[in-house]
Structure 1
Amino acid sequence: MSDEILVGYDGSPDASTALAWALDEAGRTGQPVRLAYVFEWLTVAGWVGPSVTPGAWPDETARRQVEELVHKAASDAAAAHPGLTVHGEVFDGPPALVLQERSAEAALLVLGSRGHGGFTGLLTGSTAVSVSAHAHCPVVVVRGDAPTATGKRIVVGVDGSELSLVALGFAVERAEQRGVPLHVVRTWAAAQWRTQGFDPDEADATERTTLAEELARWRESFPNVPVTTQVGPGNPASALVEASREAQLVVVGSRGRGGLRGTLLGSVSQQVLQHAHCPVAVVRER
């Protein structure tokens, strides 16, 4: 593992937006940035890999063009951000698989919501969803037109699960770095509480008390970060998507307490990835 920010880059507008977000993040942290262009060699029969015989498909001219593209993008980024270290590299293989593997050596992986394989109007692409489910480090999927929204809060979903508490730590650290408030969202299912014999007021009070206990250590460690909370019955994904309208980043754990063990990406995380109005960070333990 390194402190490097890895950016999935294919020259598409969404990838350029992701790169801008990563450079903005690196400008605060001083982390090096690496652009990763994954060059997939395909034939009618499927994946053939780099062992294809010379002179056969793919065209080496296309490979050189890809290398020139990514190296120019890295060079331009470094020139525009003279205090940062920026590299570009071309890898061979299926994009999702290669990015997942490379994430084991990165501190953060940043992706656009769609690449060249996507179509305007579609939701988050399959590569972004797959990588978010399998990566070895936190993944930021950059949604929306702007990579950053200065001054807007950071939103995090906390349901008491282990991974949501990891997400909380990630979120509060980013809030301090950016000098913005943190907004913590926690929802509960009224039907579940009724089966346990609790009335809504008692359920709400219990959830608020539990959340306050979970926040206590972070309030103490980051006293300069203003924290607001939103607690109530409802659908967690819907609440987070709505909160994302006024956020610069939404942070979720890869799987919450409603997820099944062995499930890599929970339904809430997937829905937020698909519908949020700002970049989404999916966080898991290594």
Structure 2
Amino acid sequence: MAAHRTDRPHNLASAAIVVGTDGSAASHRAVHWAAETAAQRGRTLHIVHGLDLTAAAAALGSYDVLAPGVIDDIRRCGAEYITSATHLARAVAPSVRIRTEVREAESARLLIARSADAHMVVLGAAGDSGTFAHLGSTLLAVVAHGRGTVAVVRHRGAELRSGGGYPVVVGIDGSARSQAALAAAFHEAAERRTRLVAVHAWCDQRFDRFAGYPNTITDPVVAASAQALLSEQLAGWQEKYPDVPVLRKVYPAGPVHQLIEWSRLAQLVVVGNRGRGGFRGLLLGSTGNALVQHAHCPVMVAHTEQHR
């Protein structure tokens, strides 16, 4: 098992929960979830908005200098977004400590920079279009390049699901980077005082290609190998978190299908940012699109830490 370090900046007591806001309904959902989480963990909520004047200039057809009046309007909108998000956070968690930040910077770059020492970064996602373009460049960039963990909150009501009756679900693909997902998932399950469901799909093939077949591994040799792989990946973590009950689930195929189905019963699904086959697509392919667009609860992407 990878060493569980306690000196990482994300684990420090001073590490805040960072949430991006742009005034949209999706970002309001993210603020709501982040405020609840920050209050439950006694952490500061850091609400961030990037003005991104370069993008505004491009959208207005002026690639050099924006008129002072336009800049003032953009700044005013940014301040309003922050004020609205702050009021919402206060309503959700009156005692939570809040700090705010508005900068003349691209939102994605700002959030990626803040992720370096954040407890987690939270973003909102809306829609069921099934295309990455619908998610927005900011969300995709932060999910791909952020540090630590990035939580994507869906627009449905289920994103506020919490409590010990709803598990944390983690996708395990057998790669070394599954350890980042496991570290985040065990931490989240412990914080939320709930059980952990460890999910492994033996084959990366889409589940619908096995229509009519049982959703269990019938070959005893393959089943034993799948369970052995899961045990190897979990080794040490259950000892580290003895109070977290773990349910192990192995399936013949369809990691996307299995995780989405489990998300109906979960309060959080956790995956690593890289892996083999099905889970590797989280950032750039159909798996990520499916999870972020169609999961019935928030999706947390855990990044492998690179130490000097």
TMscore range, shorter length: 0.7 to 0.9
Q: In the alignment, is the contact (CA less than 8 A) between 1:8 and 1:15 conserved in 2?
A: yes
| Structure 1 residues 1-286: aligned runs within 5 Å | 1=9, 3-41=15-53, 42-44=56-58, 52=65, 55-56=67-68, 58-75=70-87, 77-78=89-90, 81-114=93-126, 121-123=128-130, 125-126=135-136, 127-143=138-154, 144-150=156-162, 151-189=165-203, 200-258=219-277, 265=283, 267=285, 268-286=287-305
1:275–1:69 CA distance, 2 compared to 1 (3 A): closer
1:95–1:278 CA distance, 2 compared to 1 (3 A): same
Instruction: Tell me by how many angstroms 1:57 deviates.
Output: 5.9
Counterpart of 1:117?
A: none
Instruction: Tell me by how many angstroms 1:94 deviates.
Output: 2.8
Q: In the alignment, is the contact (CA less than 8 A) between 1:172 and 1:218 conserved in 2?
A: yes
Query: Alpha-carbon deviations, 1:97-127, whole Å to 9, x = none?
Result: 332223223221000014xxxxx55356122
Letter in 2 for 1:128: L
**CA distance in 1 between partners of 2:303 and 2:77 (Å):** 36
Deviating beyond 4 angstroms after TM superposition, the runs of 4 or more aligned structure 1 residues are 44-49
Structure 2 unaligned regions, length at least 5: 1-8, 206-217
Q: Which moved more, 1:74-83 or 1:208-217?
A: 74-83
**CA distance in 1 between partners of 2:276 and 2:85 (Å):** 41
Q: In the alignment, is the contact (CA less than 8 A) between 1:20 and 1:147 conserved in 2?
A: no
TM-score under structure 1 normalisation? 0.83
More strand by share: 1
**CA distance in 1 between partners of 2:190 and 2:61 (Å):** 45
**CA distance in 1 between partners of 2:227 and 2:92 (Å):** 46
1:91–1:252 CA distance, 2 compared to 1 (3 A): same
**CA distance in 1 between partners of 2:170 and 2:61 (Å):** 39
Q: CA RMSD in A?
A: 2.9
Identity within the alignment, %: 36
1:255–1:266 CA distance, 2 compared to 1 (3 A): farther
**CA distance in 2 between partners of 1:225 and 1:214 (Å):** 16
Q: Secondary structure at the match of 1:234?
A: coil
Q: In the alignment, is the contact (CA less than 8 A) between 1:254 and 1:266 conserved in 2?
A: no
Structure 1 unaligned regions, length at least 5: 115-119, 192-198
TM-score under structure 2 normalisation? 0.78
Q: Secondary structure at the match of 2:182?
A: helix
Q: In the alignment, is the contact (CA less than 8 A) between 2:15 and 2:43 conserved in 1?
A: yes
1:266–1:228 CA distance, 2 compared to 1 (3 A): farther
Q: Secondary structure at the match of 1:220?
A: helix
Counterpart of 2:5?
A: none
1:223–1:260 CA distance, 2 compared to 1 (3 A): closer
Letter in 1 for 2:129: L
Q: In the alignment, is the contact (CA less than 8 A) between 2:124 and 2:153 conserved in 1?
A: yes
Q: In the alignment, is the contact (CA less than 8 A) between 2:195 and 2:244 conserved in 1?
A: yes
